[in-house]
Amino acid sequence: MTLNDSMSVRDLSLSIEGQPILKQINLEFPKNDITCIIGPSGCGKSTLLKCLNRLTDNMDNVSTSGGVYVGEQNILTAKEAELLELRRRIGLIPQRPCPLPMSIYDNVAYGCRIHGLHSRRREMNETVEKYLTAVGLWDEVKDRLHKSAARLSIGQQQRLCLARSLAVEPDFILADEATSALDPISSKTVEDLFVQLKKDYTIIMVTHTLSQAQRIADHVVFIYLGEVIESGDAKQFFSSPEKELTRKYLSGSFS
């Protein structure tokens, strides 16, 4: 894998206990764009996202075929020894903030230590400041870096989780409804961060909020019952969708 790799999904199918969840998914995720994956609850959005960095390994009775490719490497068949590096390159922002039970500083430094990055204290200090600044959190926490991250607000915790993911220098950021637990102001802050960050990262996010996708997406994927119904440029997608099912979903007449 190289730094200029793109991500794609080819003929990906997934079932759990024999029940099909994803069916013959084929997608290309444009580099340095925000791709929003939309669709009704239970359609397979989050399962698809989990496939993109092998979190499906933690699920029981799962079978998959096809592949998820970073460059030409199928990450679904990557050996265990390659997974640590793979997951460094593909960061995940969960639906609910999950700060580690340690200080603000150590939350950001944690992944760097696991991956052997920035081992010198000065380098680590610079990294912590750099990525807390990148997510707009440095000025809010610089005087309490060694206090528990649990004391932060929910919105601050989510930005801290983002800083933790960025600190290991990934190429891709996955976000699973990353603003759904936040108040409107915090949600707007995170959305703005994603828009700023796409110049350096490829961002793939699941959202159940159409207005959010309209605000920030460059590319949209609409999934229904485990199948990709339509995907493409966000402006085109929202202004003149090609498929009748897409038009019904966007108009709210979907049933």
What pLDDT, on a 0 to 100 scale, did the predictor assign at position 1? 45
Within 10 angstroms of residue 223's Cβ, the number of other Cβ atoms is 24
Q: Where are the domains of the chain?
A: 7-251
Q: What is the mean pLDDT of each run of 10 residues along the chain (255 residues)?
A: 75 94 96 96 92 86 92 85 79 86 95 77 92 93 96 92 89 90 86 91 94 96 96 96 94 77
Tokens encoding 10: 């080819």
CA distances (Å), 21 to each of 7, 10, 63, 188, in order?
A: 21, 16, 10, 32
Q: Does domain 7-251 have CATH number 3.40.50.300?
A: yes
What pLDDT, on a 0 to 100 scale, did the predictor assign at position 119? 67
CA nearest neighbour of 48 among 221, 237, 255 = 221
What pLDDT, on a 0 to 100 scale, did the predictor assign at position 97? 84
Q: Could you tell me if 148 and 103 are in contact, meaning their C-beta atoms sit under 8 angstroms apart?
A: yes
What pLDDT, on a 0 to 100 scale, did the predictor assign at position 4? 58
Close Cβ partners of 225 (under 8 Å, ≥ 6 residues apart): 23, 43, 44
Tokens encoding 116: 């052997």
Q: What is the pTM of this model?
A: 0.89
What pLDDT, on a 0 to 100 scale, did the predictor assign at position 89? 85
Within 10 angstroms of residue 121's Cβ, the number of other Cβ atoms is 8
Q: How far apart are CA 213 and CA 210, in angstroms?
A: 5
